[in-house]
Chain A
Amino acid sequence: MGSMIAARGSTEYRKNLTQIIGYAVLICVLALIPLITKSSYILHIFILTLIYTIAAASMRFIITSGQIPLAHAAYMGLGAYISGVLSKNFGISPWLTLIIAAIAAMGLGIFISFPFARLKAFYYAIVSLFFGVGLLQAIESLGKLTGGLSGITAIPTLFNTTSKVPFYYLFLALTVVSLVILYRLEVSRIGWNLKAIEQSYLVSGSVGISEVKYRVLAVAVGCFFVGLAGGMYANYNVTVSPSSFDTTSTLWLVIYVTIGGMNNFSGPIIGTALLFLLPQYYRGLKQFTPFISAAILFAVVYMFRDGIVSIPGLIKAFYQRIKGNSTK
């Protein structure tokens, strides 16, 4: 029996090793992109992809606990506005406001999630949807400070340069760090407990998992990272307006997660990358982007419920079935 466990341990270790090597190669390739392309537009797309990857991955982290946070883009907006206003109007260094934005979003997330923590999936989705709309309205109505509907402009950036390369490297590093933290959480007992609560809060309670504690924790972590993404967005993009963080933006995040695959950690990463990078191939048809994205979404939802990341597994299963049939 001991050897069985050891054997399983070693295959897991080998699997982890190949995974780590794969990720290392991917990061190296991404790090080379500024050397390959001189186009600042392409770099801009990649930077946005990185920002939204953090947002989508943090949203999925909350989804694993069984709650669908439809206020997620509003929290990103909160982070963006806090970072933007503090660095522009109060002269605080953008490096510092980035962290403040993340902590503020986390704080509000914790504060709000206590009363909502025991709402189940559908009810939580509705409540958070309206909370998101309300939060954005509140930000808008702060008039002078936030510039109302037109937003704020001329936000100080993290680097005093017109080049996008330093932004790209910084954001790549931040994304990698964020994803590593989220991954560590997911594969630890914390992540398993969130999935346990998602499956049955009754059974979870009966073995001593505090439903409220873990749901609040999930929201705290998710909001921290989406606040960080918001701060990154503000201090990179220079302008921030409410329309970037409305309900539609939240739904885009849901689409990134769904297309990539909700039940897999790499789902939101692949989904975001696909939906940001794919439209670059048909740039001439830019006005059709939403339709093409919708078509992809429909195709994925009908054919692979677990998203694009489940395709290799399905192909493998299909291949094994064919092989099994032919040997009979």
Chain B
Amino acid sequence: MKIIEITGLTKYFGGLAAVSGIDITVNEGEVLGLIGPNGAGKSTLFNLITGVIQPTSGKVVFKGKDITGKRPHEIAELGIGRTFQLNPLFPNFTVLRNVISSFQIRPRSSLLDTFFNTPVYRRNEAYILEQSLEILKLVGLYKVKDELAKNQPHGYQKMLGVARALAIKPELLLLDEPIAGMNPDEIDNTIEAIKRTSKLGVTIILVEHNMKILEICNRVIVMNFGQKIVEGSPQEIKDNPEVIKAYLGSGHDTKY
């Protein structure tokens, strides 16, 4: 079953087409990899889907509902979680508080409940605390939960970004370069965490430069200059001469 359907999505920055006429369909439970060189329009595509920027034209349909032009928080409410490539967290909060603060939707307390500290609010907060600790265990950050997020190493901050995105209980998760800048150990842990998340039934779209990520994708789309150039299984992508030329470069052994 289709979970998200993108048709003819286009975004111009001035005269430059950052994304031009992209069509992507993602099925439920899939892990879709989105690769391509710098400036290919991958992050722009994420920003368009999550409403951070508005498309020039085109349409995004999530679970049969047109979500084009909605505000970011409305899209989060519908069940699309995302991580950010840079600054993926609230730096001055503790790790635990980062996750607690990301629980806004399920459950959501009304402003009056919150202000008057009603039993509903307190029950919600207790549930949120329990769930947050659960998520921190899932991504392996439980041991640093009471430390400030900004003092954490890069890999932990990235994982915290994933933890935060999981807190909105997403049906679709967009991961923007989840393993960029990580050491090999962290990469393995992160890939494990993504696999576990996928097993929970979350559909995942991930953007990455590192070809190692291909091993967990069901399907890969290669973008360049804002357009989709190839689509196929990880093996097909690795062998495609056009991809090797456009993205991996030509003339030397890529060892992949």
Q: Is the pair B114, A207 in contact by a Cβ cutoff of 8 Å?
A: no
Asked if A177 is an interface residue, CB under 8 A from chain B, the answer is no
Which of A188, A200, A208 has a CB less than 8 Å from the CB of B77? A208
**Interface of chain A residues 1 through 56 with chain B (CB within 8 A):** 1, 5
Asked if A209 is an interface residue, CB under 8 A from chain B, the answer is yes
Interface centre among B97, B115, B133, B165 (most CB of A within 10 A): B115
Asked if B135 is an interface residue, CB under 8 A from chain A, the answer is no
Given contacts A202-B87, A207-B105, A210-B73, 20 further A-B contacts (CB under 8 A): A188-B121, A189-B109, A189-B125, A190-B111, A190-B114, A192-B101, A195-B90, A199-B92, A200-B89, A200-B90, A202-B52, A202-B72, A203-B87, A204-B73, A205-B72, A206-B82, A206-B165, A208-B77, A210-B71, A217-B111
Contacts of B133 in A (CB 8 A): 1
Asked if B37 is an interface residue, CB under 8 A from chain A, the answer is no
Q: Is the pair B111, A199 in contact by a Cβ cutoff of 8 Å?
A: no
Asked if B250 is an interface residue, CB under 8 A from chain A, the answer is no
Q: Is the pair A199, B72 in contact by a Cβ cutoff of 8 Å?
A: no
Min CB–CB distance A83 → chain B (angstroms): 25
Asked if B10 is an interface residue, CB under 8 A from chain A, the answer is no
Contacts of A206 in B (CB 8 A): 50, 72, 76, 81-82, 84, 164-165
Contacts of B204 in A (CB 8 A): none
Contacts of B52 in A (CB 8 A): 202, 205
A193 with B76, Cβ < 8 A, contacts A188-B117, A207-B167 known? no
Q: Is the pair A189, B71 in contact by a Cβ cutoff of 8 Å?
A: no
How many chain B residues have a CB neighbour from A under 8 Å? 38
Q: List 9 A-B contacts (CB under 8 A).
A: A184-B115, A188-B117, A195-B92, A203-B88, A204-B73, A207-B104, A208-B77, A208-B105, A210-B73
Asked if A110 is an interface residue, CB under 8 A from chain B, the answer is no
Asked if A246 is an interface residue, CB under 8 A from chain B, the answer is no
Contacts of A203 in B (CB 8 A): 84, 87-90, 164
Contacts of A208 in B (CB 8 A): 73, 76-77, 104-105, 168
Chain B residues near A (Cβ < 8 Å): 50-52, 71-73, 76-77, 81-82, 84, 87-93, 97, 100-105, 109, 111, 114-115, 117, 121, 125, 129, 133, 164-165, 167-168
Min CB–CB distance A176 → chain B (angstroms): 17
Q: Is the pair A193, B73 in contact by a Cβ cutoff of 8 Å?
A: no
Contacts of B100 in A (CB 8 A): 192
Contacts of A238 in B (CB 8 A): none
Min CB–CB distance A313 → chain B (angstroms): 15
Residue of A nearest to B149 (CB): A199
Contacts of B121 in A (CB 8 A): 188-189
Q: Is the pair B71, A205 in contact by a Cβ cutoff of 8 Å?
A: yes
**Interface of chain A residues 171 through 211 with chain B (CB within 8 A):** 184-185, 188-190, 192-193, 195-196, 199-200, 202-211
Min CB–CB distance B74 → chain A (angstroms): 8
CB-CB nearest 4 A-B residue pairs: A205-B72, A208-B76, A208-B104, A207-B102
Chain A residues near B (Cβ < 8 Å): 1, 5, 184-185, 188-190, 192-193, 195-196, 199-200, 202-211, 217
Which of A184, A196, A202, A205 has a CB less than 8 Å from the CB of B93? A196
Q: Is the pair B97, A192 in contact by a Cβ cutoff of 8 Å?
A: yes
Which of A195, A199, A200, A211 has a CB less than 8 Å from the CB of B73? A211
Q: Is the pair A205, B73 in contact by a Cβ cutoff of 8 Å?
A: yes
Residue of A nearest to B51 (CB): A205
Contacts of B125 in A (CB 8 A): 189
Residue of A nearest to B130 (CB): A5
Query: What is the bound-complex CA distance between A108 and B57, given in angstroms?
Result: 37
Min CB–CB distance B152 → chain A (angstroms): 15
Query: What is the bound-complex CA distance between A195 and B100, given in angstroms?
Result: 13
Query: What is the bound-complex CA distance between A205 and B165, given in angstroms?
Result: 11
Q: Is the pair A202, B84 in contact by a Cβ cutoff of 8 Å?
A: yes
Which of B77, B91, B164 has a CB less than 8 Å from the CB of A199? B91
Residue of A nearest to B128 (CB): A189
Query: What is the bound-complex CA distance between A195 and B50, given in angstroms?
Result: 22
Min CB–CB distance A314 → chain B (angstroms): 17
Query: What is the bound-complex CA distance between A12 and B129, given in angstroms?
Result: 15
Query: What is the bound-complex CA distance between A63 and B90, given in angstroms?
Result: 17
Contacts of B105 in A (CB 8 A): 207-208
